[in-house]
Structures are given as C-alpha cells and as structure tokens.
C-alpha cells in the first residue's frame, strides 16, 4: 500500500481520485490548495507519490513543484493538468516532475503511472537535487504543437534534456520540426545558457568545401577568397547551443574535425595552428538513416556514437492525426497575417480533408497547403474547394464567376471538430474504441473532447466513465 498526496482545486476530481485510489489499496490524503499541500508535506507523514494539479487557486502549480518535491524528500510528483500545451509540459518535466498527465485522467493509465513511479522510487539509490528556480520562459517562443500521446512524450523528453548539457541527436522526417525542438532545448536551458547564442548551421545547404569554413572559421589567406579573418559558428555559439541541421550531409574530412571537437572540446580555424576552447552544447539533427550511412562508409561510426548520446525522435504527422486540428488552429492566425487575408476558420469538409491526408511533408507541407488555401479563399472561412493537396505550388485562384456564395453562418474550427466527433460517435453508436480508431485519436483525447463539447454517449459494457 502506498501513501499518496493529491493536490487539486476541484472537489469532484479529489473525490473521484480518492475513491478510485483507495479502492486500489492506497492511503490517500487530498487537499485543494498549495498552502495545504506544503503543510501536509511538512508533516511527519511519508508520501510515496504526489499528484499535483497546475491550476491551484493560491499559487501556480509549476511554482510550487520544486518546493513540494524538496519537502516530500523528492518523492515522484505526477503533474495532472487540463493544460497539455508544450510550454507547461516542458517546464514541469524540466523542473523535476516524474510524469505529466492531461485531464480527464484514465483510471487504468493513472494506475500504471503510479505503479511505475513507485517502482522507480524504490530502486532509486539517491534523490536528485531539484534544479534552481528560474524565471518564467518567454511565452512568445515558437512552439511545437500537439496534444497527442506521442507529442506529450516528446515534450517530456525535451524538458528532461533541457536541464542537462548533453549532446542531443534529433531525428525525424523533413518538416517535423527538428529545428524547433533544438530551439526549445536551448531556450528552456537552465542558468545563463538560455540567454547565450543559438547558432544554426544547415549542413545540406552548403557545398562540401564551405561546410568546414562555415563551422570552424578561417584565417586570412587560408584559401582563395579568404581576404580577412572570419570566426566560425563554433566560436559564435559561445556558451550557448550550436545546431547542426542535416548532420548526415557533412563531408567525411569535416567529420574527423567534428569528432575532435566532441572529444576534446577544442578546435582550430582553417589556416591556423592556434587551438580554441569550445564551450557550447551541440545539438544535431537528421532525417537520414545514419546507421545505414555508417555501414556504407559515408558517416564515421565514432562520430555517430558521439552524437547519439541522447536521442529525440519526432513523429511524422501521419502518426498523430489527432493533432492536425490544433496545428491548423495555431497556423491560421499567422498565415492570415502573412497573406493579408482575414481567414479565421475552416469548414467541416475542409477539416475532414486535411485530417485524412498522409502529409508526407509533415507540418511544413500542412503550412504550405493552408497558405495556398488562404490565398484562394474568398471569404473568412476555408472551404473544401480551397484545399489543394496536389504537388503543384501554383496558386490557381478560382474565377469570380465560379465563386460560390458564402453561407450566412460558417462554423469555426472548434465547431467543426465538435461536429466530427459527434458524427463519429453516432456512426459507432457510442463505442469509444471504434470512435478512437475512426478519428485516429487516443482514448484520453476522445474523453477530453466529449467533456469539452458536452457530448453525450450511451454507456457500453467495459467503457465506463473516465476520471475528470
């Protein structure tokens, strides 16, 4: 039997969690404020696991996290929140949360997470020191967008890695957001590293001979055209981060020098013998099969192992279709400003078309399609006829005579999503597993949307209500 402390401001959530966890054999104490949580943590009680909501009435849950962990002797803290945005997840994991779960909570999944926390806690020889408090991160930074289970795992991993200076290899298809992930690692870093430079090098965009000069810099006269000294990207990065995009394209002769940088943390400019100290963190990215390149002799095996210290793999969009409506919602505002057209929504038909596409170009392709559609759009809502999924990049605007009259009331993106979920539930007669399969979303996501939109479904055997 484990001793669990629940911190949540919603009485209904506290009651349902307490009932379910007590039935599972745990001793549970539930409180509704940060002050009461810290008071309980100060008591002589020993807590094995803490469930912490972020939306507390007296203090922000993220602000309380570090203090609470210290008082419960670093017992695992599972953050539970109705806010599953990237920034909240990354901050929570960076600041020491054991896990992050989005509401409504699935009872079976919660039991698994608690059991895992208890196993890890029992095997941990020494508690980790909680990171020092840090000012809130600028919310204006670019975001990876997604609420799917796959993306929540990515956010958690980025949060854990942001607290270290380990070399990171980011893998994923083109257009999945590898540079955004690298920027998140940099901008959420602890201490002064976040304010140091972030320097990106696109290794695939430079001819082979220029890659080395771009990365290492050169002295005057090092080669034809080198008319003055020029510092390289390694030097420009300072104490910050250097991002080597498409590192699989680096020529073999340059790979040898990169290996030395990783091994000895020193480098020389082209044309000089003086050695310079390298302090920045290296984050590399590729969509190539590095293991295959190693076997074919096109990539050094020793460099591969030096880069592959910690790996973040970004899932393709086709494997997280449930994120497409949220990504569209985030992109439309920016695209509307870029093309100078007041596009504020999307019709159900257009949304269904986009959600069913495989997106071989991932988020980059989705953005391009939405931009073309915004240019074609004659009103304020994207219609199915505005969506062009062909490979052509030409903007073929419909003739004015062929323009259809805009309906008096067109649905917003939220209304379109609600209608899709309602239609799917009707088709499956309320069967949640079949509805999830039809929509390509997880069970927690479906339950969250049912609650958000107030949809009613018939109760079926084995498909009882989730904790909210």
Confidence of residue 390 (pLDDT cuts 50, 70, 90): low
Round the average pLDDT of the chain to a whole number and report it.
Answer: 84
According to the per-residue pLDDT averaged within each range, which of 45-54, 376-385, 397-406 is highest? 45-54
Identity of the highest mean pLDDT range in 285-294, 343-352, 413-422: 285-294
- Average of pLDDT values for 346-354? 90
Residue 62: CB atoms within 10 Å: 19
Same CATH topology for 3-123 and 318-411: the answer is no
Q: How many helical (H) and strand (E) elements, i.e. helices and strands, does the chain have?
A: 18, 16
| 60-81 pLDDT, tens digit each | 999 999 999 889 887 899 999 9
pLDDT at residue 134, rounded to an integer: 36
> 139 pLDDT band (50/70/90 cuts)?
very low
Arch. (CATH architecture) of 3-123? 3-Layer(aba) Sandwich (3.40)
Homologous superfamily (CATH) of 164-313 is P-loop containing nucleotide triphosphate hydrolases (3.40.50.300)
> Residue 100 above 80 pLDDT?
yes
Q: pLDDT-derived band of residue 140, with 50, 70 and 90 as boundaries?
A: very low
Average pLDDT over residues 241-257: 94
Res 193: pLDDT: 87
Does residue 371 carry a pLDDT above 80? yes
Lowest mean pLDDT among 124-133, 154-163, 291-300, 374-383: 124-133
d(CA 254, CA 252): 5
Residue 389: closest CA among 427, 417, 361: 361
pLDDT at residue 403 greater than cutoff 80: no
Residues in a beta bridge with 276: 267
* Helix or strand run (H / E) with residue 16: helix 11-23
With beta carbons less than 8 A apart as the criterion, state whether 54 and 79 touch: yes
Tell me how far apart the alpha carbons of residues 153 and 116 are, in angstroms, rounded to a whole number: 15
User: How sure is the predictor about 444, in pLDDT bands with cuts at 50, 70 and 90?
Assistant: confident
Share of the chain above pLDDT 70, in %: 88
pLDDT > 70? residue 128: no
Q: Which of helix, strand or coil describes residue 420?
A: helix
Lowest mean pLDDT among 181-190, 281-290, 325-334, 403-412: 403-412
Fold of 318-411: Helicase, Ruva Protein; domain 3 (1.10.8)
Range name among 68-77, 261-270, 301-310 with the lowest pLDDT average: 68-77
Give the 3-state secondary structure of residue 429. Answer: coil
In the 8-state DSSP scheme, what is residue 241?
E
What ranges do the domains of the chain cover? 3-123, 164-313, 318-411, 427-468
Q: What is the pTM of this model?
A: 0.71
Average of per-residue pLDDT across 8-22: 93
The full DSSP string for 84-110 is --HHHHHHHHHTT-SEEEESSPPHHHH
Give first-to-last CA distance, the chain, whole Å: 24
Better pLDDT: 352 or 142? 352
Query: Which pLDDT score, from 0 to 100, does residue 360 have?
Result: 92
Inter-axis angle of helices 324-339 and 413-427, nearest 10: 150
Go through the chain and tell me how many residues it has.
468
> Angle formed by the axes of helices 413-427 and 443-452, to 10°?
120
Question: Considering the chain, what percentage of its residues have pLDDT values greater than 90?
Answer: 52
| Least confident piece of the model among 7-16, 62-71, 405-414 | 405-414
What does the alpha-carbon distance between residue 5 and residue 18 come to, in Å, rounded to a whole number? 10
> Residue 412's pLDDT is what?
72
Q: Is the pLDDT of residue 435 over 50?
A: yes
Contact 245, 171 (CB under 8 A): no
- Is the pLDDT assigned to residue 268 strictly greater than 70? yes
pLDDT-derived band of residue 228, with 50, 70 and 90 as boundaries?
confident
Evaluate the omega torsion of the peptide bond into residue 104 and state whether it is cis, within 30 degrees of 0: yes
Helix (H, G, I), strand (E, B) or coil at 374: helix
Phi and psi dihedrals of 97, rounded to 5? -60, 145
Lowest mean pLDDT among 115-124, 130-139, 150-159, 301-310: 130-139
d(CA 226, CA 223): 6
pLDDT for residue 363 is more than 90: yes
- Average pLDDT (354-362) is 93
Tens-place pLDDT, residues 187-225: 999 888 889 999 999 998 888 768 888 899 888 877 777
The SS3 assignment for 390 reads: coil
């Amino acid at each position: 039997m484990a001793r669990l402390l629940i911190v949540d401001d919603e009485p209904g959530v506290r009651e349902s969690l307490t009932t379910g966890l007590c039935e599972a054999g745990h001793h549970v104490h539930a409180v509704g404020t940060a002050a009461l949580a810290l008071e309980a943590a100060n008591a002589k009680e020993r807590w094995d696991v803490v469930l912490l909501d972020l939306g507390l009435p007296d203090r922000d849950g993220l602000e309380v996290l570090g203090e609470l962990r210290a008082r419960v002797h670093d017992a695992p803290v599972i953050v539970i929140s109705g806010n599953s945005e990237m920034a909240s997840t990354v901050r929570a994991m960076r600041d020491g949360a054991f896990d992050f779960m989005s509401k409504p909570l699935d009872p079976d999944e919660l039991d698994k997470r608690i059991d895992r926390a208890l196993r890890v806690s029992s095997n941990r020889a020494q508690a980790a020191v909680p990171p020092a408090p840090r000012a809130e991160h600028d919310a204006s930074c670019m975001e990876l967008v997604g609420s799917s289970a796959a993306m929540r795992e990515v956010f958690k991993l980025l949060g854990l890695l942001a607290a270290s200076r380990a070399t990171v290899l980011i893998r994923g298809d083109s257009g999945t957001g590898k540079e955004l992930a690298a920027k998140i690692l940099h901008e959420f870093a602890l201490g002064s590293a976040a304010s140091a430079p972030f320097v990106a090098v696109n290794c695939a965009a430079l001819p082979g001979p220029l890659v080395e000069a771009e990365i290492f810099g050169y002295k005057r006269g090092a080669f034809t055209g080198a008319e003055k000294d020029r510092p390289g990207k390694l030097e420009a990065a300072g104490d910050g981060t250097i991002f080597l995009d498409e590192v699989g394209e680096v020529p073999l002769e340059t790979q040898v020098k990169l290996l030395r940088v990783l091994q000895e943390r020193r480098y020389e400019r082209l044309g000089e013998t003086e050695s310079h100290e390298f302090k920045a963190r290296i984050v590399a990215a590729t969509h190539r099969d590095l293991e295959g390149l190693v076997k074919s002799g096109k990539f050094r095996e020793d460099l591969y192992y030096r880069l592959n210290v910690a790996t973040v793999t970004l899932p393709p969009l086709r494997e997280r279709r449930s994120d497409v409506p949220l990504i569209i919602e985030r992109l439309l505002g920016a695209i509307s400003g870029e093309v100078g057209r007041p596009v504020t929504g999307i019709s159900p038909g257009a949304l269904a078309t986009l959600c069913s596409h495989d997106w071989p170009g991932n988020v980059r392709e989705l953005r391009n399609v939405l931009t073309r559609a915004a240019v074609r759009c004659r009103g304020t809502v994207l219609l199915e006829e505005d969506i062009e999924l062909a490979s052509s990049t030409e903007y073929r605007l419909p003739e004015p005579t062929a323009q259809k009259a805009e309906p008096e009331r067109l649905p917003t993106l939220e209304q379109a999503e609600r209608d899709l979920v309602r239609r799917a539930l009707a088709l499956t007669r309320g069967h949640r597993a079949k509805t999830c399969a039809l929509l390509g979303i997880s069970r927690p996501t479906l339950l969250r949307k049912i609650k958000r939109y107030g949809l009613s479904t018939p109760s079926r055997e084995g498909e009882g209500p989730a904790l909210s």
